[in-house]
């Protein structure tokens, strides 16, 4: 047996030892598991989580009204349209993003359980957040990154995040794009005995609940009511899941949850050729579509991020539109912020034009910026790779080939993702994990209805259709 096979064969026991959770305990059917019990058994609620986060200066971030951008929206909207836009400035967290909320409970749990260190597999802001929180707790930290292609070329944004992790004292293991990431991460967990501070544990999701809860309270205090819509950049699903749960716990049950991603259709995330042609490391369809249609492709047995349970609407924007709105935010509001939060801001700009001017839209997060995160760094790399950069109609954008930056704000628009189609894709993936002759019981059918935010009729009709198609 090869070293790779030896490690992969121990996957379940390595993960179980590294997170302190027996996921088998929550299995209730062939597909079903007790999702709410998995979250509840952590022992943390939104109030406890907020108390823990305050101890490391996480949370209580400002809610900022973007008055100048709202005026620009109204100047490009029909009379009477143009919702007020607010932004939750999560760049005020210690490592500069909302990911500090995700990391905080994992680090707290690791310290409480007596682990000597923590590890996480991420190329994004989460690595810096884990490293920052680990430094505060006096724990060692290892971050495993998918960092560059076979030519040893790294996206400047990933290199920026490597530097951030190392600045907080973490060891960073940088890998080329490919399937070895999970193997290396498992090997790190086995060899060190560190806590798995995965993006997808219940601790991570509950940490984000404080963001939705806090946001709802701030809007109500300032405006006398809850927001009409919250727009969240969508990648692996934790952002949508945690924020939506926090909104509900604050009483904002009628607030529309809108997920937004950069459209990178046509690019394959595991392709060596495509890796550096994305111009975005997160918040794009290369993550949001696969994780929406099958969230359990994670580094834990059951992903606590279940975005389809919570989103009311799913939209995409183009690369050029996000670069454009990044500059608009800087020049009109004096806020230079990183790319991920600007994905949801680009969507908010377009969606606010559809809404009445007395409505309230909140962009759920910002992140810090830096040399590697600046649009010019990403665009310069794109040029070196032969990608065309131009001004024009963003509808002409083609990921990996052409980035089209709008000529005017009125050109910013969203494209709605077919949510019923995404739900059927989820059901197809679920069936693929079962023998073809399996008959699902009531508990599994209800679980699938909850997962897809539909009903038993939709699930049963979709499964019948999938069986007919397969047959």
What pLDDT is recorded for position 12?
Answer: 87
Whether the pLDDT of residue 443 is over 90: the answer is yes
Tens of pLDDT, residues 382-436: 999 999 999 999 999 999 999 999 999 999 999 999 999 999 999 999 999 898 8
Question: What H or E segment, with its residue span, contains residue 232?
Answer: strand 229-233
The span from the CA of 64 to the CA of 241, in Å, is 23
Q: What is the DSSP string of 42-110?
A: T---HHHHHHHHHTTT-S-PPEEE-HHHHHHHHHTS-TTB--EEEEE-GGGSTTSSTHHHHHHHHHHHH
The SS3 of residue 174 is strand
In whole angstroms, give the CA distance from residue 86 to residue 66.
Answer: 6
The closest alpha carbon to 241, from 181, 184, 190, 298, belongs to 298
d(CA 434, CA 37): 24
pLDDT tens-digit map of 279-288? 999 999 999 9
- Confidence at residue 179, expressed as pLDDT on a 0 to 100 scale: 81
1 confidence band (pLDDT: 50, 70, 90): low
Say what percent of the chain tops pLDDT 90. Answer: 91
pLDDT for res 47:
97
Length of the chain: 471
Per DSSP, which regions of 235-301 are E strands? Answer: 256-262
pLDDT of residue 5: 87
Instruction: Report pLDDT for 471.
Output: 63
Q: Taking a C-beta distance cutoff of 8 angstroms, is the pair 412, 328 a contact?
A: no
Please give the pLDDT value at position 470.
Answer: 75
Instruction: State yes or no: pLDDT of 197 exceeds 90.
Output: yes
| d(C-alpha 245, C-alpha 341), whole Å | 19
pLDDT digit string, tens, across residues 336-352: 999 989 999 999 999 99
Q: What is the mean pLDDT of residues 11-25?
A: 91
55-86 pLDDT, tens digit per residue, is 999 999 999 999 999 999 999 999 999 999 99
Q: What is the mean pLDDT of residues 46-57?
A: 98
Tell me how crowded residue 163 is: count the other CB atoms within 10 A of its CB.
14
DSSP label at residue 398: B
pLDDT band at 43 (very low <50, low <70, confident <90, very high): very high
Does the pLDDT at position 363 exceed 80?
A: yes
Nearest to 263 by CA among 328, 212, 314, 198: 314
What is the average pLDDT across 353-361?
Answer: 98
Q: Is the pLDDT of residue 35 over 70?
A: yes
Inform me whether the pLDDT recorded for 210 exceeds 80: yes
Residue of 13, 193, 20, 188 whose CA lies nearest to 117:
193
Instruction: Give which of 310, 104, 131 is closest to 207, Cα–Cα.
Output: 104
Average pLDDT over residues 313-327: 98
Supply φ then ψ for residue 44, to 5 degrees.
Answer: -105, 135
Query: How far from chain centre, in Å, is Cα 120?
Result: 15
pLDDT tens digits along 220-275:
999 999 999 999 999 999 999 999 999 999 999 999 999 999 999 999 988 999 99
User: What 3-state class would DSSP assign to 405?
Assistant: strand
Instruction: Report the C-alpha gap between 209 and 310 in whole angstroms.
Output: 13
The pLDDT of 6-32, averaged and rounded, is 92
Which of 425, 415, 99, 102 lies closest to 258, judged by CA? 415
| CA distance linking residue 349 with residue 346, whole number of Å | 5
The answer to whether 157 and 281 have CB atoms below 8 angstroms apart is yes
């Amino acid at each position: 047996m090869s070293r790779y096979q030896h490690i992969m064969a121990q996957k379940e026991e390595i993960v179980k030892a590294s997170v302190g959770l027996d996921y088998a305990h929550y299995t209730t059917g062939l597909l079903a598991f007790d999702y709410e019990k998995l979250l509840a058994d952590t022992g943390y609620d939104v109030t406890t989580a907020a108390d823990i986060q305050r101890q490391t200066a996480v949370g209580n971030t400002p809610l900022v009204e973007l008055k100048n951008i709202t005026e620009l929206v109204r100047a490009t909207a029909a009379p009477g349209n143009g919702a007020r836009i607010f932004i939750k400035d999560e760049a005020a967290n210690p490592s500069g993003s909302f990911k500090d909320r995700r990391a905080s409970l994992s680090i707290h749990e690791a310290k409480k359980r007596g682990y000597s260190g923590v590890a996480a597999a991420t190329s994004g802001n989460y690595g810096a957040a884990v490293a920052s929180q680990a430094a505060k707790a006096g724990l060692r930290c290892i971050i495993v990154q998918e960092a560059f292609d076979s030519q040893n070329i790294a996206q400047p944004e990933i290199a920026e995040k490597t530097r951030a992790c190392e600045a907080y004292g973490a060891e960073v293991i940088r890998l080329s794009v490919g399937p070895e990431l999970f193997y290396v991460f498992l090997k790190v967990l086995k060899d060190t005995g560190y806590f798995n501070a995965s993006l997808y544990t219940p601790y991570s999701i509950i940490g984000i609940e404080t963001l939705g809860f806090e946001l709802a309270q701030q809007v109500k205090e300032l405006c006398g009511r809850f927001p009409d819509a919250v727009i969240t950049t969508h990648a692996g699903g934790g952002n949508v899941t945690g924020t939506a749960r926090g909104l509900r716990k604050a009483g904002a049950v009628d607030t529309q949850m809108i997920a937004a991603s950069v459209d990178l259709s046509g690019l394959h995330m595991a392709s060596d050729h495509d890796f550096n042609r994305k111009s975005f490391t997160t918040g794009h369809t290369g993550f949001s579509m696969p994780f929406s249609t099958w969230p359990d492709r994670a580094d834990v047995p059951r992903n606590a991020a279940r975005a389809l349970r919570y989103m009311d609407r799913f939209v995409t924007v183009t690369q050029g539109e996000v670069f454009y709105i990044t500059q608009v935010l800087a020049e009109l509001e004096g806020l230079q912020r990183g790319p991920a939060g600007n994905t949801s801001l680009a969507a908010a700009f377009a969606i606010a034009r559809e809404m009445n001017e007395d409505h309230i839209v909140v962009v759920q997060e910002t992140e810090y910026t830096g040399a590697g995160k600046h649009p010019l760094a990403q665009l310069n790399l794109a040029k070196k790779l032969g990608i065309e950069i131009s001004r024009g109609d963003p509808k002409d954008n083609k990921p990996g080939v052409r980035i089209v930056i709008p000529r005017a704000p009125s050109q910013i628009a969203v494209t709605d993702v077919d949510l019923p189609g995404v739900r059927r894709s989820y059901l197809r993936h679920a069936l693929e994990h079962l023998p073809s002759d399996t008959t699902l019981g009531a508990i599994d059918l209800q679980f699938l209805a909850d997962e897809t935010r539909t009903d038993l009729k939709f699930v049963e009709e979709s499964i019948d259709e999938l069986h007919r198609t397969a047959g």
